[in-house]
Amino acid sequence: MNYIIGCGGVGSAIVPSFCLLRTPDEVTLIDGDTIERKNLNRQMFDASQIGLNKARALAGKYGCHFIPEWFSRGKFRHYRTDWLICLVDNHRTRLETLEVCDDIGCQAIFAANEMQRPIITGEPGRTPRVTRAFTTRN
């Protein structure tokens, strides 16, 4: 399964294309946030959706699965074949996504609007790892 964690600015822009690359049955959106008027200028929602859960609103439009809850380690069952696409703006969820990947060996992609830069490290012949160099600003 491909889990898109975060359906705000980056997530709402990625979901339409991602659902064309994978079948909607292979995509699950995870977000506990609701659509607010302040989101409309930078997220792929319209005024008629204010008050709806972001994951539910996008899933309804693109036919994929959704979980209208915040992501956290241990809350959902994942497998080695899963991809966790983390598109959130908070360090706690990013760290917990990395920990899930470490626990079960699945893959992750991180993208968000932020000034922090991840540090990718690796050794020849080994899988690169993202260094947990997150601050505690959030």
Domain of residue 104: give its range: 2-131
Question: Is residue 51 domain-resident?
Answer: yes
Question: Is residue 46 domain-resident?
Answer: yes
The strand order across the sheet containing 27-30 reads 65-67, 27-30, 2-5, 83-86, 107-110
The Cα 23–Cα 25 span in angstroms is 5
Question: Is residue 136 domain-resident?
Answer: no
pLDDT given at position 102:
93
Cα separation values, 22 from 18, 42, 62, Å: 6, 25, 11
Question: Is residue 77 domain-resident?
Answer: yes
pLDDT tens series, the chain, 138 aa: 999 999 999 999 999 999 999 999 999 999 999 999 999 999 999 999 999 999 999 999 999 999 999 999 999 999 999 999 999 988 899 999 999 999 999 999 998 765 555 544 444 555 555 554 444 444
- Number of structural domains (the chain) is 1
pLDDT given at position 112:
74
Question: Is residue 138 domain-resident?
Answer: no
Question: Is residue 110 domain-resident?
Answer: yes
pLDDT given at position 13:
94
Question: Is residue 59 domain-resident?
Answer: yes
Q: Which two tokens stand for residue 12?
A: 């709402």
Question: Is residue 111 domain-resident?
Answer: yes
The Cα 87–Cα 38 span in angstroms is 19
- What is the domain-level CATH number for residue 61? 3.40.50.720
